[in-house]
Each structure stands twice: as C-alpha cells, then as structure tokens.
Structure 1
Amino acid sequence: MDELTITCPYCGEAFTTLVDTSAGDQDYIEDCIVCCRPIECHLEVTTDGPVLTPRRDDD
C-alpha cells in the first residue's frame, strides 16, 4: 500500500489516501473526505511510483 495526497476536483481540498498498487493500473471511485462527492480515480503504476489522477464524475 502506498499513501498519496490528492486534491478533490470539487471542493479543492487536499487529502491523503491509501492506494493498492499490487493489482496494477486501475480505475475506481473514492468519496472526498471533506465534501463527500464521488471522485473518479485513475491509478497508474509506473517504474517511478504510483500516479493517481482524480476527476469529477460529471466531466
């Protein structure tokens, strides 16, 4: 498990989340811990480490 900081695309607040890189690249939804809106997360596992890209679910 890796700990990453992301910024909510709705409220703009940054928070820390845990990601499981053992399954490789993945897409999943995680609720913002501040505004509770659903964030679409794209996790890419690279040789330099995991990259987590958050997106609004209405984009």
Structure 2
Amino acid sequence: MDELTETAISCPYCGESIDVLLDLQEVQQQYIEDCQVCCRPITFVMTAANNGDLSVAVYSENETF
C-alpha cells in the first residue's frame, strides 16, 4: 500500500502555494512534477531525518542543488 501525505509547497516559478501529494516511499529520491498553476516543471527532492521527519525542497529546472 502506498503511503501518501499532502503538503503545501511554493512554486519556484510563479510563487503560488500549491498542495501536492508526496509518496513516502520516494524519500531520498528526486522527481519532477508540473506546477498545477503555471505548468512549469518543478524538481522535488525529498529527504527524511533520522527521527522520521520528512523534508521537501523544490527547485526550478535551472537551479543547481
């Protein structure tokens, strides 16, 4: 069974706050999803701390990380 959690992020292009569903099984990976407002590709990087807290960072396609 997939474990999904909903979180709000701010699009790195248009700045709009959007709600996204994150798959907890994708932790320690990155993936690309289009912004629901401006349709530009957002790179998501998810990491988990040792205590289990989930952290999500978002980047535009031109940013390096």
User: TM-score range with shorter-chain normalisation?
Assistant: 0.7 to 0.9
The TM-score normalised by the length of structure 1 is 0.88
- Computed over aligned residues only, the root mean square deviation of the Cα atoms, in angstroms, reads 1.2
Residue identity matched to 1:2: T
Give yes or no for the alignment of 1:49 onto 2:53. yes
Query: Deviation per CA, 1:32-53, whole angstroms, max 9, x where unpaired?
Result: 0000000011011232521110
Query: Deviation per CA, 1:1-59, whole angstroms, max 9, x where unpaired?
Result: 11111000000000110111124311000100000000011011232521110001112
The structure carrying a bigger strand percent of its residues is 1
Moved over 6 A (4+): none
Structure 1 stretches of 5 or more lacking a match?
Answer: none
Higher relative contact order (CA 8 A, sep 6+): 1
- Structure 2 CA distance, aligned partners of 1:31 and 1:23? 17
Count of matched residue pairs? 59
Identical counterparts, % of pairs: 37
| 1:5 maps to which of 5, 8, 19 | 8
Superposed, which structure 2 residues align to 1:5-44 within 5 Å?
5-44=8-47
- Structure 1 CA distance, aligned partners of 2:25 and 2:8? 19
